[in-house]
Amino acid sequence: MLEALKKYGSVQESPVDELAISLSVFRNHLALIDELLHEFDAKTFHSGNPLERLVCLNAAAEYIQINKDMENRFMSLSRKLKAAYKICVPSGELTDEETAKAQFYLAIRSVIYKQTKGDAPDAEIMNRIVEKMVQEAISCTGIENIVNAESV
């Protein structure tokens, strides 16, 4: 089949070649991230309840952000892992363990990306905005009656 794809297919690589290369890249980057996080215990993410999984995910993001070099390396590796994952998932070639690990690492990537790259205001700015809103609500001169729904 591979020969037929090469002979009758386009000049570019065939989807079969691309899948084989993508699987290799995916597994290589998965192993590199495994090595980067070898000291982090992710058991609760894979077997815990939703709250335990969220706590584990946040702990993993904090672990990766211990230093900037580690964060940059993780983000670079996970970006390439994500690209290969998108190609490999539909093929059905990935094991359940590989899929679970990839989803964990991509979830960590998402958390870190949203914390560092997004345009959302940080906690300090949000606290000032909320404080200002509370001050405006307290200093409001108009008083409105709140009618109890049961008495109406």
pTM of the model: 0.66
Q: Give me the number of domains the chain comprises.
A: 1
pLDDT recorded at residue 122? 61
| Domain that residue 8 falls in | 2-120
For the chain, the farthest-separated pair of C-alpha atoms sits apart, in whole angstroms, at 82
pLDDT < 50 positions in the chain: 1, 5-6, 10-11, 13-14
In this predicted model, what pLDDT tens digit does every residue of 7-34 receive, in sequence order?
Answer: 555 445 445 567 888 899 999 999 999 9
Q: Is residue 38 in a domain?
A: yes
Q: Which of 61, 33, 86 is nearest to 53 (CA)?
A: 61
Structural domain includes residue 47: yes
pLDDT for residue 106: 94
* Domain-embedded: residue 67: yes
Angle at 104 between CA 30 and CA 56, to 5 degrees: 130
